[in-house]
């Protein structure tokens, strides 16, 4: 068991990467706090974990709200006695996110409130808990677009993920001597709800697939395996990294033709 005696708090645990990670972390021995703005979805994740013999608690949390972030961390410590893995994974990609001209301030602000402030607030309340536990691992979900930009305009999303990446680097430096590792997980395009609701025709899917050397979308379960590595002590000398799990899309964009 790679996460024996660990307590993991995962945001956005009701769907996609968060759900798959919650299931995998629990199967590897972690007690899991599944946090999501959608409590019913978080409850489903927690129920699936418990049905498989694992330990899980569902909490409703909007990561853009300080009180919710404080409460989800408190719930982990109250229920399981400590927090050792914080996976700041919740994020949105707004349907009206576009280029600099078309993107509204509301879309920009909402995207930053969840994707960037949500990670900040997770750390604001999570880091003290990790300190109390003697250290741990923080994983922040960024994206490959933090590194290469997206060919289809989604300026708020891309900028927010760039912020997550830079925030992660500084957090890693600041907390390295406290036995707290902080890494950014940068997934490529995945076959999850978040992306598939936009790539909703075969033509749109093919337009994206053409850029992915592997010729397919990633699965949330494949990202969960990378998150497990970053959560576990197998990655004990890894901090401040931009951990790309992207089917080669970033290499394809950055390798000269
Ligand atoms: N799907 C992709 O192609 C892709 C690629 C790179 C990065 N990512 C990132 O991975 C993360 C997870 O994405 P996913 O594909 O699993 O998405 P998803 O839409 O399947 O799941 C996201 C979950 O976050 C929850 N959520 C949304 N707003 C929230 C809030 N304010 N507070 C708490 N929970 C909230 C949703 O209810 C949902 O359960 C996101 O940060 C996303 O930006 C996704």
Position 256 scores a pLDDT of: 60
Tokens of 18: 């968060």
More confident residue, 82 or 210: 82
In a domain, 191, yes or no: yes
Q: What is the DSSP letter of 165?
A: H
Position 193 scores a pLDDT of: 83
Active site residue 157: yes
> What would the mean pLDDT of 47-65 be, rounded to a whole number?
98
Position 194 scores a pLDDT of: 84
Asked if pLDDT for residue 128 goes beyond 60, the answer is: yes
Q: What is the DSSP letter of 147?
A: H
More confident residue, 114 or 150: 114
Q: What is the DSSP letter of 75?
A: H
Q: State the residue for tokens 């969840």.
A: 114
In a domain, 80, yes or no: yes
Question: Which among 80, 125, 157, 229 is annotated as catalytic?
Answer: 157
Position 200 scores a pLDDT of: 86
Q: Which atom of ligand 1 is nearest to the CA of 91?
A: 41
Please provide the distance, in angstroms rounded to a whole number, between the alpha carbons at the two ends of the chain: 44
Separation of alpha carbons 199 and 208, rounded Å: 8
Distance 101 CA to ligand 1 centre (A): 25
pLDDT-derived band at 106 (thresholds 50, 70, 90) equals very high
Asked if pLDDT for residue 254 goes beyond 80, the answer is: no
Residue nearest to atom 8 of ligand 1 (CA): 143
In a domain, 16, yes or no: yes
Whole-angstrom Cα Rg for the chain: 17
In a domain, 2, yes or no: no
CB 117 within 8 A of CB 64: yes
CB 183 within 8 A of CB 171: no
Residue nearest to atom 17 of ligand 1 (CA): 194
What's 63's domain CATH number? 3.40.50.720
Q: State the residue for tokens 């891309």.
A: 158
Q: Is the pTM of this model over 0.85?
A: yes
> What is the CB-side half-sphere exposure of residue 174 using CA atoms within 13 A?
10
Asked if pLDDT for residue 255 goes beyond 70, the answer is: no
> Structural domain of residue 240, as residue ranges?
7-254
pLDDT per residue as tens digits for the range 10-27: 999 999 999 999 999 999
Number of domains the chain is built from: 1
pLDDT-derived band at 207 (thresholds 50, 70, 90) equals confident
Q: Of the residues 9, 10, 12, which should be mutated to test ligand 1's pocket, given the most ligand atoms within 8 Å of the CB?
A: 12
Separation of alpha carbons 140 and 206, rounded Å: 29
Neighbours of 135 (CB within 10 A): 13
Distance 14 CA to ligand 1 centre (A): 9
CB 87 within 8 A of CB 9: yes
Separation of alpha carbons 87 and 26, rounded Å: 13
- β-partners of residue 35 are 11, 59
Separation of alpha carbons 220 and 233, rounded Å: 22
pLDDT per residue as tens digits for the range 62-94: 999 999 999 999 999 999 999 999 999 999 999
Position 257 scores a pLDDT of: 52
Tally of helices (H runs) and strands (E runs) in the chain:
11, 7
Separation of alpha carbons 188 and 123, rounded Å: 24
Tokens of 56: 């899980």
Q: What is the DSSP letter of 113?
A: I
In a domain, 1, yes or no: no
CB 5 within 8 A of CB 81: no
Mean pLDDT, the chain, as a whole number?
96
CB 113 within 8 A of CB 100: no
In the chain, % of residues over pLDDT 70: 98
pLDDT per residue as tens digits for the range 167-200: 999 999 999 999 999 999 999 999 988 888 888 8
Spell out which residues line ligand 1, taking CB within 6 angstroms. 11-12, 14-18, 36-38, 41, 61-64, 89-93, 114, 141, 143, 187, 189-190, 192-195, 220
Q: What is the DSSP letter of 5?
A: T
């Amino acid at each position: 068991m790679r996460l024996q005696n660990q307590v993991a708090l995962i945001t956005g645990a009701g769907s996609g990467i968060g759900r798959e990670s919650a299931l995998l972390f629990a199967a590897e021995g972690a007690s899991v706090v599944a946090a999501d703005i959608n409590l019913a979805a978080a409850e489903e994740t927690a129920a699936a974990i418990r049905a498989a013999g694992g330990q899980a608690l569902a909490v409703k949390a909007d990561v853009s709200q300080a009180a919710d972030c404080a409460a989800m961390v408190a719930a982990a410590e109250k229920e399981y006695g400590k927090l050792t893995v914080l996976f700041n994974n919740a994020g949105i990609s707004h349907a009206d996110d576009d280029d600099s001209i078309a993107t509204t301030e509301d879309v920009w602000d909402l995207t930053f409130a969840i994707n960037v402030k949500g990670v900040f607030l997770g750390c604001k309340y999570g880091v003290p808990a990790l300190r109390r536990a003697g250290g741990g691992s923080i994983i922040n979900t960024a994206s490959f677009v933090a590194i290469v930009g997206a060919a289809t305009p989604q300026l708020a999303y891309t900028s927010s993920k760039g912020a997550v990446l830079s925030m992660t680097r500084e957090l890693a430096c600041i907390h390295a001597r406290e036995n707290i590792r902080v890494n950014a997980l940068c997934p490529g395009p995945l076959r999850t709800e978040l992306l598939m609701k936009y790539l909703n025709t075969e033509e749109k899917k093919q337009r994206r697939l053409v850029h992915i050397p592997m010729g397919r979308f990633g699965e949330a379960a494949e990202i969960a395996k990378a998150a497990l590595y970053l959560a576990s002590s197998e990655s004990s000398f890894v901090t401040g990294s931009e951990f790309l799990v992207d089917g080669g899309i970033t290499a394809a964009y950055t390798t000269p033709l």
